[in-house]
Amino acid sequence: MTRPALSRTREQLQNGHFIRVVNYHSTPRVARDELAAELAGFAKDYAPVTLADLDRLFETGEWHADRPGLIPVFYEGYRNSAEVAAPLCEELGLTGWFPIATSFLDTPEEHQEAFARAHWISLVEEDTRGGRIAMTWDEVAQLSKRHVVFPHTARHEGYDNVFTAEDLEREVFEPKRKLEAVTGQEAPAFAWLHGSSYGQSALHDDAVREAGYRYVFSNTMIHRIR
């Protein structure tokens, strides 16, 4: 991949050639209008970013659009991400990026609230009234036709709680295979709980790289894995 000089990077930033990443978690129906207004404001000032756009940026160091890019990221795999956030993105011409905690989706509906409370998945009032909280695998497949879906581990784990080969298989390797089987597409990226960065642990970096991910989304940057 091309590594632009600092002067070239400064020039790109001054010209608005950068990508802004905005993180969301639950997007409840009761707050739909607020989310719609926020995303509409972003859509006015920023260009959507597809996977191909991101690949091109990292491969060439050049941003192709006349506006900065926007990646709205909707974490965990909430039902309301599929029912509220994704349709709003589509109305506004944005590409949503959806990191999925795969075991959350595998949990039976009647146990999803308990799973969420045990695995750092925040709930709002409408989530506690009964019914499904996580999106379905059919919804994931549908999302992948227009947006980008990728693993957020299986059980919503941080790398500091994943130690053994069995842990790595469950949290890093299997979620990728599962998403790819459901969508028929590559799962190109990965994200740990707490937004941990690539480069903090050789054990975990090796697993992410071996699994075949191209990107890690962290709290500070999008890491391109060589």
For residue 106, what pLDDT is reported?
A: 98
Contact 70, 94 (CB under 8 A): yes
Sheet of 189-190: strand order equals 189-190, 215-217, 222-224
Domains contained in the chain, CATH given? 6-224 (3.20.20.370)
Residue carrying the six token digits 């937004």? 195
Contact 182, 203 (CB under 8 A): no
Widest pairwise Cα distance in the chain:
55
For residue 12, what pLDDT is reported?
A: 57
Residue carrying the six token digits 């091309």? 2
Within 13 Å of residue 41, how many CA atoms lie on the same side as its CB?
A: 6
- The enclosing H or E element of 222 equals strand 222-224
DSSP β-bridge partners for residue 120 = none
Rounded CA-CA distance 132/138 in Å is: 14
Across the chain, which has 226 residues, the per-10-residue mean pLDDT values are 53 69 97 98 98 95 93 98 98 98 98 98 93 97 98 97 97 98 98 96 98 97 93
Contact 143, 98 (CB under 8 A): yes
